[in-house]
Amino acid sequence: MINQPILTIVVPCYNEEEVFQATYKQLREVMLHLITECHIHPESKILFVDDGSKDSTWQLIETVYKQDDLINGLKLSRNFGHQRALLAGLEKANTYSDCIISIDADLQDDIDVIKEFVLKYLEGYDIVYGVRESRKTDSFFKRTTAIGFYRIMEKLGLPLIYNHADYRLLSKRAVETLLQFKEVNLFLRGIVPLVGFKSTKVFYDRKERLAGESKYPFKKMISFAFDGLTSFSVKPIRFITILGFLSAVVSVIAGIYVFIEKLLSHPVSGWASIMISLWFIGGLLLMSIGLIGEYIGKIYEEVKQRPRYIIDQSLLHEIHTQQDLEQKQKVLN
Ligand code: UDP
Ligand code: MG
């Protein structure tokens, strides 16, 4: 009895009213199974984090919280983005849980492997990564851009787990360690592997979104990828330096060419080539400045040390652990 861990499943939700009921029912089912099979503590919870939704998501969370002891809710003061909503959930849940699983509200990730996550945890793993076996159900566009993203990240030397999104189990101490990473620019997928500890992977098939639309349109995806890139690697800056060096070499060669032309007293014929290189160098410069600016912006944000999320309301059921009960018993005696 004592060895059963308290599990919390953290579910960030942004405008998810269309899928909420289905998600709630399915996750609840899984939880109840795990509890009756004695894999997890009966006080385990599902924590829905409302990331400043504009629809009725929070009202739905409140309603199920009132009806169901299994459900906790957290409301952020505004929309902070998936990563921060998740972080808020992790931090809150870690105050009372032994292990935490994070999953998207649309249940694109197979909930049947939650049990495997827990079993791995019970075997002594601190981090269990859910890894997509195939991307059949993603659109062609999403699939290719995602694969490209992992390729680029790999080239840049980032320790990303291939085809792993934010579906994973973390032990209490893994979350505690994660929370010591204080950067405002969060990219959990990049940070979690840096935590270390004993980790493993569980494979599953990714499904279609239950309902509603992807909250990651193209623009957000690009900025997410770019954020991930510049948060973890200075290699892009190095690349720019090399490019600058190369273009300098090219211009020296061009200079020599012009000089020789002059010695041979050919008529000046280089207007076009001069214009081209002018634009080329100009473009290169602007690009370099932009990129360096991007990093300075990052530093600026980090230096300000703003809170990563703000909690508006938290609905948490009181947890009665075995220890609590024993403590109470002692006080009574
Ligand atoms: N999400 C969030 N805040 C946001 C955007 C998304 O909390 O600003 C949540 C969303 O509710 C979902 C998860 O993050 O649970 C992943 O979003 P989505 O399924 O739209 O992304 P995709 O699977 O298309 O990458
Ligand atoms: Mg999704």
Measured in Å, residue 49 CA sits from the centre of ligand 1 at 11
Length, in residues, of the chain: 333
Q: What is the pLDDT of residues 161-212, one digit of tens each?
A: 878 888 999 999 999 999 999 888 878 888 898 888 999 998 888 776 666 6
| Alpha helix ranges (H) inside the chain | 17-36, 57-67, 82-94, 114-123, 140-155, 172-179, 188-195, 218-232, 235-263, 271-304, 322-332
**Pocket-testing residue among 14, 84, 109, ligand 1, by greatest number of atoms within 8 A of Cβ:** 14
Q: Which ligand 1 atom minimizes the distance to the CA of 12?
A: 7
Predicted local confidence at residue 263, as pLDDT: 81
Ligand nearest to the CA of 209: 2
CA–CA–CA angle 284, 289, 292 (5° rounding):
125
Could you give the 3-state DSSP secondary structure of residue 33?
Answer: helix
Residue closest to 88 by CA, chosen among 72, 111, 108: 72
What is the fold of 7-230+307-325?
A: Spore Coat Polysaccharide Biosynthesis Protein SpsA; Chain A (3.90.550)
Considering only CA atoms, give the Rg of the chain: 26
Measured in Å, residue 104 CA sits from the centre of ligand 2 at 6
Say which range, 74-78, 227-231, 325-329, has the weakest mean pLDDT. 325-329
Measured in Å, residue 300 CA sits from the centre of ligand 2 at 31
Q: How many CB atoms lie within 10 A of CB 28?
A: 16
What is the C-alpha separation between 322 and 1, in angstroms, rounded? 8
Q: Could you tell me the pTM of the whole model?
A: 0.75
What is the C-alpha separation between 331 and 333, in angstroms, rounded? 6
